[in-house]
Structure 1
């Protein structure tokens, strides 16, 4: 691999957790022994609190009113699904434990414990770091960007695989864009019975879509340059046979 693989910058755990929260459209709430799914019913404040709109006569509102203040009274779960259809599509799960405070027309949930689970395992996120962190600036555009890359530019995805170590592509049946953030692009490499992920870091963070476009062009240029040495290696290997 080229020099692009020497820098492995990635979002911090708190930033990743806030990104999952910012992108989620639904959440599962467990409170007072009940488990309910809410779709399109929550918003997120700047400090990571969750404002949830629930029916006035619902069990969750009654549980929140009766719960002791500042004691964990509920657990909220959020799932982060890849925009492009891939095997094992859930990229991360976020659990927030905390308490609800009734406000006008909604419930305000403040987390006291934050747990993020990714493919590498579960990590407890410091609540202060979670509050101070900000979502990745590309999180809102990611679904559109990845689906466009996969559907309209499969040739570009193929070119990007030239930046991947050959052993990582062994027995690959499909390569698809799995995730993108300000620090880099992640590819999902699928095999018949398994899969793996490879991260292609950008040379510098991208804080908006315009910068991301430039970062992707750099990666594609590096991929084109990487093809020449590989072609020469194949020619030498064929000549030795």
Structure 2
């Protein structure tokens, strides 16, 4: 399974929604706290792009040499319609400073979050992340394609996803005896996670024989999984 550091790094560099929580700007609107872009630097610092007149930029500017504590909260929501769509959250806390001269356009300001600690609570479980581990972690190579692929599976290949019920034995039926609906919930280099709905819904993971490294290997692994389910 991916480490807590890898999962956190993947969430930071994904398209998941995020807000930056800073003391003194609690009354700001949620959209004012959402960075327009985010990236991770070579030492594990997180760069966040905001309008230059945003409340968080003003707070960081006024703090100047003082250390301004901040928490970046990331929420991961499943890109398909499924009960309990929040798949996980991550929190990165540290110290915020302005990084002038980095923003690509006038009217924008890049902020730098020096990481103190991080944690993640997702479908894999909960765990803490040290700054050094976060800086060294890689990003799951499938994350850039996950949203499109899950939506494609759900809309265009629901029959093949539904066939995965055959791999969970008697659990394919809920308490009323009805066949559960199978919904693709998450996809990563290790495998596919499916949520089986109905009474007392549950998740099942279908692991690939080996982790995939790119979209070509992913397609082969998915074909093999669906062929196994069809037997």
> Is TM more than 0.5 here?
yes
Output the CA distance in 1 between the equivalents of 2:95 and 2:72.
10
Match of 2:183 in 1: 176
**Bigger Rg over Cα:** 1
- Alignment partner of 2:144: what SS? coil
Query: Could you tell me which residue of structure 2 aligns to residue 203 of structure 1?
Result: 209
Q: Out of 123, 136, 142, which is 1:138 matched to?
A: 142
Q: What is the correspondence of 1:208-223 to structure 2 with a 5 Å cutoff? A: 208-223=214-229
The 8 Å contact of residues 150 and 176 in structure 1, kept in 2 or not, is answered as yes
Correspondence 1:88 to 2:88:
no
Relative contact order (alpha carbons < 8 A, sep ≥ 6): 1 or 2 greater? 1
Structure 2 residue runs of 5 or longer lacking an equivalent are 101-108
- Which of the residues 38, 49, 66 maps onto 1:43? 38
Q: What do residues 179-232 of structure 1 show as CA deviations (whole Å, max 9, x unaligned)?
A: 01010000001124x32110000011111111011101111222233xxxxxxx
TM-score by length of 1: 0.80
Q: Note the C-alpha offset of 1:82.
A: 0.8
1:15 CA displacement: 1.0
More helix per residue: 1
Q: Distance in 2 between matches of 1:191 and 1:69?
A: 55
Note if 1:59 corresponds to 2:55. Answer: yes
More deviation in 44-53 or 108-117?
A: 44-53
Q: Deviations over 1:154-190 (max 9, x none)?
A: 1111222222232364345421000010100000011
| Distance in 1 of aligned mates of 2:196 and 2:13 | 27
Q: Specify every segment of 5 or more residues in structure 1 that has no aligned partner in the other structure, as ranges.
A: 1-9, 226-241
The alignment of Structure 1 onto Structure 2 pairs a total of residues equal to 215
Alignment-derived partner of residue 149 in structure 1: 153
Report the aligned-residue RMSD.
Answer: 2.2
